Amino acid sequence: MFGGRLCRLLAGDPRIELTAGARDRAKVEALAAELGIAGLVLDWQHDLDRVLAGHPFDVLVHVAGPFQGQAYAVAETCIRHGVHYLDLADDRAFVCGIDRLDAVAKAAGLLVCSGASTAPALTGAVLEQALQDDGSVDRVSFGIVPGNDAPRGRALMEAILSGAGKPIPDQPGRRVWADLRRLAVPGLGRRWVAACDLPEPALFRQRFGIADVHAAAGLELTVLHVGLWLLALPVRLGVVKTLLPAAAPLAWIADRFRAFGSDRGGLRIDLQGAGGARSWSLIAEGGDGPFVPATPAAALVRKLARGEVHKRGAMPCIGLLSLAEIEREWRQAHLRIAAGWGDDGAAYQPSLYRRVLGASYEEMSAAGQRLHEGVELQWEGRCSVDGPMNPVGRVLAALFRLPPAVADAPIAVEFAVRGGYETWTRRVGGRAMRSRQYIGLRRPAGWIVERFGPLAFDLQLPVRDSRLELVMSGMRFAGMPLPRFCWPRIRAAETEQEGRFRFDVEIGLPGIGRLVRYRGFLTGR
């Protein structure tokens, strides 16, 4: 679930010679062939000592969970062979207990680091950024809310179920998957979360002196989240010891509901201190959410390869990475992940079009990049408008408030950015056209959805010779797909001329012809 994504993040870095190791030969060979890396078939519980003795590895990243109840055999084997060790654990006991290896790790001159993942590496980096900015934080509360499409491996299911209903140490009255509440993540809306036994309460108290820390996670679908809360009730009452034996049937049931959720997940962290309240949020779209736990490990491996990590010893992954270093991982991988401070997602970066276009964004004209960066929210210019070609077209144009025909008229475009969405308001000829643009559910990379009221259009965005085109690929009315013969004919392009952003958009209907064509230029105010 996470190891393959970590390999995809690191593959191609000239400083890193990468080897992927796992038990499943077919999967290892397929991944190695896809990424052009080495593959190694091994059972880490039996073969690791022999493998490390025969290969000059510099660092090993351990992703074979669940880490609940797991010993430190992998880390100890790495220390014996002089190999730096990282893992993606988020289990409180495992991460907080790694310092028992501190003396031997220091003696070997090695970094042994646990929790190079969302919790506690990313959450800790957010907290450290807030402390640098404001200087005081008294309370931390956060919730992790993956999309329902996220793959659920056996290890993840076992990790969730092993603690459900059990008390959380050092947090009187709190139990795993209890304390139901709703969490609002900008761009995702309100989702259920419940208490989890994560490392942050202990680590933040120990490192930063913050005693009030609440960690939570949630399932996107209410039926699954509340269902697990109900299933954990016998454990809370002491009737059942653990839900772990139910991992296989519950995974099968959860898979039956996969189509009812989405490929959008996120994270929200709320901080309170003497200076007031602040929040930081992240949204991951297009199924890119499972990359988030792998990004801190990828960033730390790169720092080791560059010789920029000087700490040695065994420790949780806090204080080794900045928030900017972690964010850089998903930006340079062109993932559809955005994050920022604030309650409404207005500060989310990268911008919508940068996330949609990925590497192609840099191929756009400079004027196009400036407009779509989402920094300047008001643009003005001039345009000409060609109207409908017949009476039926004129009726439809008036119904949709399309601008009237005019040879030369002022045009103003305003952008409102919230929660990963952009609302465009175009004003020309005394009329306003308003649409909302967003990535959409289960859409391929390079696609965007533009919605005018109940009508939503899927648009591909190819970039050719600095020219951005919008190509019609689908249409829905009130969420229902419409057949191709109903689709409007759209011809749209964005270019640059004499340093100005230029647009040319024509919309028509089969059998009716052109409804409107407007073309001209825009400059930022």
pLDDT tens for 382-396 read: 999 999 989 998 998
Between 399 and 331, the more confident residue is: 331
Please name each of the domains of the chain with its CATH number. 126-286+337-348 (3.30.360.10), 358-524 (2.40.128.20)
Question: DSSP letter string over 146-158?
Answer: --TTS---HHHHH
pLDDT tens digits for range 174-207:
999 999 999 999 999 999 999 999 999 999 999 9
Confidence at 170, pLDDT banded by 50, 70, 90: confident
Q: What pairing do the DSSP bridges indicate for beta strands 111-114 and 313-316?
A: parallel
**How far, in Å, are 88, 297, 300, 307, 489 from residue 311 at the CA level?**
19, 16, 12, 11, 60
pLDDT at 466 over 90: yes
Q: What is the pLDDT of residue 66?
A: 87
Only one residue has tokens 């409908």, namely 388
pLDDT at 222 over 90: yes
pLDDT tens digits for range 290-315:
999 999 999 999 999 999 999 999 99
Q: What pairing do the DSSP bridges indicate for beta strands 421-428 and 431-438?
A: antiparallel
Instruction: For the chain, report the end-to-end CA distance as a whole number of angstroms.
Output: 46
Q: Where are the alpha helices (DSSP H) in 306-363?
A: 323-332, 352-357
The amino acid at residue 337 is I
Q: What is the pLDDT of residue 171?
A: 86
Q: Which residues are within 8 A (CB) of 447 and not within 5 positions of it... i.e. 6 or more apart?
A: 356, 439, 440, 458, 459, 460, 461, 473
Only one residue has tokens 């993040």, namely 9
Cα(82)–Cα(107) distance, integer angstroms: 10
pLDDT tens digits for range 260-301:
999 999 999 999 998 899 999 999 999 999 999 999 999 999
Neighbours of 17 (CB within 10 A): 12
Confidence at 429, pLDDT banded by 50, 70, 90: confident
pLDDT at 492 over 90: yes
pLDDT at 153 over 90: no
pTM: 0.93
Query: Among 54, 111, 114, which residue's Cα sits nearest to residue 84?
Result: 111
Element (H, E) at 364: none
Q: What pairing do the DSSP bridges indicate for beta strands 467-477 and 38-41?
A: unpaired
Q: Are 132 and 273 in contact (CB under 8 A)?
A: no
Q: What is the pLDDT of residue 404?
A: 87
**What number is the average pLDDT over the span 317-335?**
97
Q: Which residues are within 8 A (CB) of 100 and not within 5 positions of it... i.e. 6 or more apart?
A: 72, 314
Cα(43)–Cα(48) distance, integer angstroms: 7
Q: What is the pLDDT of residue 28?
A: 96
Cα(348)–Cα(279) distance, integer angstroms: 12
**What number is the average pLDDT over the span 246-271?**
92
